[in-house]
Structure 1
């Protein structure tokens, strides 16, 4: 039986699917994808699994560099966009699988690279998903996690409250220390730890999830109040060209399975 959280995720990302790669957002920022590839250092013989792949942005970026890419996501609408984009790019070495990150339908030691991007904050049980990713990773393989880093401890609840108002499928941003602990508990030495700040337009961010007008207005006021010196949100918003922006802190960690 599908969980309540899974239903929320499917509803949210079905709505987001067609606009997920909009140029007004930085989720598809080419420079960052190139940076990711330079850190991962894929080989032509590698097999790759992208977990909670969405529209398979990472998988499509890695496909020309590797033998095969499998993209897994629970939302068929997101996978459909990824499959269509892969066809446009003539990427013939990709497979698309609907599935649950907590119960990966693959054998142990199946992939040379297992990667997940901007997904862990949606997982109700991130440790379970991490363990599943480790299980299907080959010995000597690379596990790559990219996600938003949580705000400082005193502001984490406020940051998560705003995130959840905007997208009910959001669960909780994790800290660098929490990600590090998962790598350590799985005995995966961390070979790369990188944090990049990416600017996000508040209006584009709210539009992506079709945030209801009143909620969007409340969030906008919350961030504008901070800009005007009243209260803190964890977003550190600022104005540029008359619009509200904030920087997302994207954490990338790569570990090697011994």
Structure 2
């Protein structure tokens, strides 16, 4: 499929999911809630002022952050207009919500101390564009906290990417690919970023911290 076809599938999928995304009836999307504690713990390690949430959805992570650190400035971006529409209903002070493409972030250079991306990255058809865009908008010393799906076994990842993904597309979902440690390292290197840590946590979660050194 083309990049546009992947993105169109994602917009269609999450337009349907927007109204129930944070409810107890969200189905598979309830899995995303497992990422929030680890992201919050990572953020507690260093001070920050400006944070960007890539693939923010209806803003569940931004809601938690806004409650915990109400004096910070937050920006959320999502490809699906309906997701941003639902997020805006929360009327969170100091939170800017933008419809846009995470592969081409519409923000100035050196805008953010932290970029977070939770369970959105596997929907991006041009992953290198995302990493390069993150490099541009991060301030020197800033970091990307990435949470997504992974498998340790290269053979299992191959099965997921070449057999399971096409079946998922038939079901109307815009998943593109899951990644291993070396995949992420190469994306970082090509973007001028430094991968500080990469852990597999739980059944199929990657937890990765990436730094913009300069």
Please state which band the TM-score falls in when normalised by the shorter chain: 0.7 to 0.9
Deviation at 1:72, TM superposition (A): 0.6
Question: Could you say if the C-alpha distance between residues 162 and 175 of structure 1 is closer, same or farther in structure 2, counting changes exceeding 3 Å?
Answer: farther
> Which of 39, 43, 50 is equivalent to 2:42?
39
- Point out 4+ residue stretches in structure 1 off by more than 6 angstroms: none
Larger Rg, first or second structure (1 or 2): 1
Task: Give runs of aligned pairs for residues 130-149 of structure 1, distance below 5 A.
Answer: 130-149=131-150
Q: Which residue of 1 aligns with 2:96?
A: 95
Pick one of 173, 179, 182 that aligns with 1:177. Answer: 182
- Provide the residue aligned with 1:191 in structure 2: 196
1:47-93 CA distances to partner (integer Å, 9 max, x unpaired)? 01111211222222223326111001121111122223x43xxx412
| Partner secondary structure for residue 33 of structure 2 | coil
Shift of 1:12: 1.2
Residue equivalent to 1:75:
80
TM-score by length of 1: 0.70
The question of whether the paired residues in 2 share the 8 Å contact of 1:40 and 1:254 is answered with no
Does 2:212 match 1:257? yes
Instruction: Give the Cα–Cα distance (whole angstroms) in 1 for the partners of residues 72 and 46 of structure 2.
Output: 8
* Closer/same/farther in 2, CA of residues 103 and 137 from structure 1, 3 Å limit: same
DSSP-derived class of the 1:100 partner:
coil
Written as runs of structure 1 = structure 2, the 5 A alignment for 1:224-243 is: none
Structure 2 counterparts to residues 141-160 of structure 1, below 5 A: 141-150=142-151, 152-154=153-155, 155-156=159-160, 157-160=162-165
**Mapped partners of 1:103, 1:112: distance in 2:** 18
CA RMSD of aligned residues (A): 2.3
Q: Where does the alignment leave 5 or more consecutive residues of structure 2 unmatched? A: none
Partner of 1:230: none
Is the partner of 1:16 in helix, strand or coil? Answer: helix
Matched, 1:26 2:31: yes
Alpha-carbon distance in 2 for matches of 1:45, 1:147: 22
Task: State the aligned residue count.
Answer: 201
Secondary structure (helix, strand or coil) at the match of 1:17 reads helix
CA distance change for structure 1 residues 115 and 178 in 2, over 3 Å: closer, same or farther? Answer: same
1:168 aligns to 2:173 (yes or no)? yes
Deviations 1:217-248 (A, max 9, x none): xxxxxxxxxxxxxxxxxxxxxxxxxxxxxx5x
Q: 2:127–2:187: 8 Å Cα contact kept in structure 1? A: no
Contact 1:113 1:141 in 2 (8 A): yes
**Contact 2:152-2:200 within 8 A present in 1 as well:** no
Contact 2:188 2:210 in 1 (8 A): yes
Q: 1:44 to 1:253 in 2, by over 3 A?
A: closer
Q: 2:6 touches 2:175 (CA, 8 Å); kept in 1? A: no
Is the 2:7–2:123 Cα contact (8 Å) retained in structure 1? no
Q: Is the 8 A contact 1:122 1:170 kept in 2?
A: yes
